[in-house]
Structure 1
C-alpha cells in the first residue's frame, strides 16, 4: 500500500493490522490498543469496498412535489424575509417577513413542479442515498505493526496460537 499523505491522515508506509466486517469491530480493536497504551495516533481506520445504498422513501405525485416545494420555499422565504426585515422601517418588518414567506412558498412550488415535469415518468419516487463501506481496515505505521499484532492477539475472546 502506498503511503497515505493527506494532512492529518498521513502515515509512513502503513501496514494492515486487520480487516473488520463493521466499524464497531474496528473501533473495538483500536480501543483495545489504546487501553494497552499503544501509540494510537499512528493508526487509521479506513472504510473499504464502498457501495452506494439508496433507500426509496415513497412515491412522488404532483401534490407531494408541490407540498415539498412549498415547504422548502417557505424556509428560504422566511430566512430572506427575516434578513430584509432587520433593515425595514419600524413596524413594517412583520409584513416584510410575511411577504418573503409567501414569495418563497410560490417560488418553491413553481420551481419544484417545473423540475418534476421535466423528469416526468423517469423517476417517480423519492429516496435518500449514502455511500457505505462494507469492510474496515485498521492501518498502522510499519514500525509498529508487530506490537499491534501482538496486542490484538491478546484481546479477550481471541484464539490463542500454540
Structure 2
C-alpha cells in the first residue's frame, strides 16, 4: 500500500484576506504581473449565510409581484406569437393578449404561493453567503513566485 500526502484543495496558501474584493485585487495584481493565474484559486473559509429582511409580505405585495412576473412572461409569449401574426393589428393583439393572460395567471400564482405558506413567512428578504477569510491558493511549483509578487504588492499598499 502506498502512502501519499494529500495537497489541500487549490494548492498552498500564498495570501489571506479579510474580504473577497481584497483577494480579487491580489489575483488581479498577479495577473498584471504576468503570473500564470490559471494556477491560482480563491477559497472562502468559515462560511455563513446572511439573510437581510427587506420588507413585510402581504396579500397585495404577493399578488403584485406575481402579476409583475406574469406580465414579463406574457410579453415574451405575446411577442413570440406576434412574430407569426399575419398583419400589424394581429401582432398588437397578440402582444396585448399575452400581457393580459400573463398578468392574470401571474397574479393567480402569486396568490397561490402566498396562501401555501399559511403565514409562516410573511416577509421578503435577500440572502448572501459570506466568508470570514479568503485565502489565495496556488500550485506549489509556482507558490514562491506568487508570494514574492504579493509581498511586494502589499508593501506598496
Instruction: Report the TM-score when normalising by structure 2.
Output: 0.82
Q: Is the 8 A contact 2:15 2:150 kept in 1?
A: no
SS of the residue 1:92 aligns to: helix
Q: Is the 8 A contact 2:12 2:143 kept in 1?
A: yes
The correspondence for 2:139, drawn from 115, 136, 141, is 141
Residue 114 of structure 1 corresponds to 112
Number of equivalences: 150
Q: Structure 1: how far apart are the matches of 2:90 and 2:33?
A: 65
Residue 45 of structure 2 corresponds to 48
Q: How does 1:75-154 map to 2 (within 5 A)?
A: 75-90=72-87, 91-154=89-152
Question: Using a 3 Å threshold, how does the CA distance of structure 1 residues 140 and 87 change in structure 2: closer, same or farther?
Answer: same
Of the structure 1 ranges 103-112 and 144-153, higher mean CA displacement relative to structure 2 is found in 144-153
1:103-140 superposed Cα distances (whole Å, 9 cap, x missing partner) = 11010111110111111210000111122233211111
Extract unaligned runs of 5+ from structure 2. 1-5
Of the structure 1 ranges 135-144 and 18-27, higher mean CA displacement relative to structure 2 is found in 18-27
Q: Is the 8 A contact 2:19 2:132 kept in 1?
A: yes
Residue 7 of structure 1 corresponds to none
Extract unaligned runs of 5+ from structure 1. 5-10
Residue 17 of structure 2 corresponds to 20
Q: Structure 1: how far apart are the matches of 2:80 and 2:97?
A: 12
Q: Is the 8 A contact 2:18 2:134 kept in 1?
A: yes
Instruction: Report the TM-score when normalising by structure 1.
Output: 0.80
Point out the structure with the larger helix share.
2
